[in-house]
Amino acid sequence: LFLDEIGDLNANTQAKLLRVLQERCIQRLGDNSTVPVDVRVIAATHRDLESAIKEREFREDLFYRLSVVTIRLPPLRDRSDDIPDLIRFFIRRHARELSVELPSVQPEAIAFMQRQSWPGNVRELENVVRQALLLAKPLAIGLDHVQLAVEKARRPEGISKQPHDAYIAELLAAVQRGEMTNAYSRMIADLEPVLFREAIRLAQGNQAKAARWLGVTRLKMREKLTELGLHPRNPAPDAEAEAEDAA
């Protein structure tokens, strides 16, 4: 029996689950009789349960009942080498669902996805791959497809068009539903690309000017533009940057 997001259970449900694990029997709704059960429980959560115990948000006795064997998975951003295999897996899964031929994926598209921070972890990557499949079919998945898919996945209703309060409320609601693990990281991942794209647009491609407006170094600006796929492969130094360097 797989129980997802075990750390979000309320106190009443935690007590009921503990009783089931201890007594190995259940009682159906509306029935006074008990039914014996023999299952192996696998539980998952995005929360730090040890911290939740200290904050009295998770039962310590339930934690030790569940944590016979613990597997800690690092976030996807720390496992970029796994991303090509995951991309291929999700392509096979969703190509059947969408009735499309298995497409190839251009190397620059894979490299772009490996550079992302993936605040939504594997679920977000799967959503992006599915979106890219729809955008690319019947062609190979290219950089432009995954860039648009990432933008759609992170800004499903267009963040720039939402009032800030509505965006934050939606963000926190998604965390409560278990759809993401870190609201702060997701907000940065959502808004930072918008900020850099708009700055470089208003600066008419002048990286030195855009960097100065944002209070970052030109190196940081180039790195972010490369990550977003906006940095030209052989950029010519802008005149203002050359003047600064000469000074």
Residue 34 has pLDDT above 70, yes or no: yes
Averaged pLDDT score across all residues of the chain: 83
The region of weakest confidence among 23-37, 52-66, 183-197, 233-247 is 233-247
CA distances (Å), 107 to each of 104, 153, 168, 235, 238, in order?
Answer: 9, 21, 35, 21, 29
Q: What integer pLDDT is reported at residue 15 of this predicted model?
A: 94
Residue 162 has pLDDT above 80, yes or no: no
Is the domain defined by 2-66 classed in CATH 3.40.50.300?
A: yes
The matching CATH number, chosen from 1.10.8.60, 1.25.40.10, 3.40.50.300, 1.10.1530.10, for 76-154 is 1.10.8.60
Tokens of 27: 């009682």
DSSP label at 59?
Answer: -
Name the pLDDT band for 58 (thresholds 50, 70, 90): very high
Name the pLDDT band for 247 (thresholds 50, 70, 90): very low
Measure the CA–CA gap between 84 and 231, rounded to whole angstroms.
23
Measure the CA–CA gap between 123 and 127, rounded to whole angstroms.
6
Name the pLDDT band for 231 (thresholds 50, 70, 90): low
159-246 falls under which CATH superfamily?
A: Homeodomain-like (1.10.10.60)
Sequence ranges of the chain with CATH classification 1.10.10.60: 159-246
CA distances (Å), 229 to each of 15, 174, 207, 216, in order?
Answer: 50, 27, 14, 18
Sequence ranges of the chain with CATH classification 1.10.8.60: 76-154
pTM for the whole thing? 0.55
